[in-house]
Amino acid sequence: MEPILVTRPSMPSFEEYCEEIRKLWDTRWLTNMGEVHEKFQHDLEQYLSCPHVALHTNGHLALENAIAAMSLPPGREVITTPFTFVSTTHAITRNGLIPVFCDVDPVSFTIDAEKIEELISDKTVAIVPVHVYGNLCDVERIQQIADQYNLKVIYDAAHAFGVRYKGISSANFGNASVFSFHATKVFNTIEGGAVCFRDDALINILNDLKNFGIRGPEQIVAVGGNAKMNEFQAAMGICNLRHLDQEIAKRKLVAQRYVEHLNGVPGIQLSKSQEDIDSNYSYFPVVFDGFSATRDEVFIALKEQNILARKYFYPLTNNIECYSDLPSAGKSSTPTAAFLSDRVLTLPIYSDLNLNDVDRICEIVLSLIKHK
């Protein structure tokens, strides 16, 4: 039996992708921001209603460069969440900054905006919140805090492509919002990422950071690295963007099927829909708290049937070895995040997941209920 993975990349037809890359065999322009790259950038700016998009070869380098572009003094503190993939914390640390971990909201799983202020010190220079599972952070409250304390806000929006709040794309919040276009995401370019921003002054800065500081054939103005998206990635993005709304609609049907089976089951907490949010249904998290089986037992039961759910996010980034010496390390500093990390399991969800398979996954979960 074929394994059912936690997610599966959406792809255009083979013929559609081949048609999109056909011109590359004529031009032989495969990288260095060619015609396909420029078209994809324009398409994204239109789709996201965002003035500027800086394409990157992956989401992690996009986040590193977005933070670097803010010119934050090394050794200063950045408030963030431990309930995220480790890339978020690494991007902060690799910029010479110190992550300070804030606890999360138990309903949205995003950073608890009401706990940010108590963590602000004279060393704080920025906030790096993370949108989680397609749920958005409290963007309005976070911006109020940032304005009050003169802090930069860089959103890790890896889970939020296509999400809108009151009709506004998630690309348009904070000083920058950063997307991952990894194959596991709702929208993918095989690998890839982007920094979305409004400040014209960041255009050259981000281009310098991702292209060795090169401004011309004989002009190098800054110290930069190499994080350029190639033409094949951009072509995949152009194709997938055409079908994104349909893909999200299909994922919604999968999510609704899970809800039909699991909503109201004692010991199972499902993610609640956020007011004024158009979700992308990027993940389907289930919190097992007081259920007949533990999260890990559910994980094992599914794995035995070749269904590969994911403990996501586990472990917390403030509970891993390389961050153990930070003042805000350890589960005790973020108890809600720790509680969720020990109990959440993301069930398989992707656009072409058969609803009969969803039924089977739910049957396995519900079969673990112990009848007295």
Predicted local distance difference test score (pLDDT) of residue 1: 75
- The span from the CA of 156 to the CA of 84, in Å, is 9
Each residue's pLDDT tens digit, 130-170: 999 999 999 999 999 999 999 999 999 999 999 999 999 99
Give CATH superfamily name and number for 244-366. Aspartate Aminotransferase, domain 1 (3.90.1150.10)
What pLDDT sits at residue 372? 41
The pTM of this model reads: 0.97
Q: What is the pLDDT, as a whole number, of residue 330?
A: 79
User: Which pLDDT score is estimated for 275?
Assistant: 95
Which strand (E) or helix (H) includes residue 362?
Answer: helix 355-366
- Going 259 to 264 to 270 to 271, the CA torsion angle's sign is positive
> What is the sign, positive or negative, of the torsion defined by CA atoms of 63, 319, 170, 10?
positive
pLDDT of residue 371: 61
Segment 257-269, tens digit of pLDDT: 999 999 999 999 9
State the average pLDDT over residues 117-125: 98
Tell me which fold the domain 4-239 belongs to: Aspartate Aminotransferase; domain 2 (3.40.640)
Beta bridge partners of 126: 78, 152
Task: Break the chain into its structural domains and give their ranges.
Answer: 4-239, 244-366
Write the pLDDT tens digit of every residue in 301-311.
999 999 999 99
Positions of E strands within the chain? 4-5, 52-56, 77-80, 98-101, 124-128, 152-156, 164-165, 168-169, 176-180, 193-197, 214-216, 219-220, 268-270, 277-278, 284-288, 307-308, 344-347
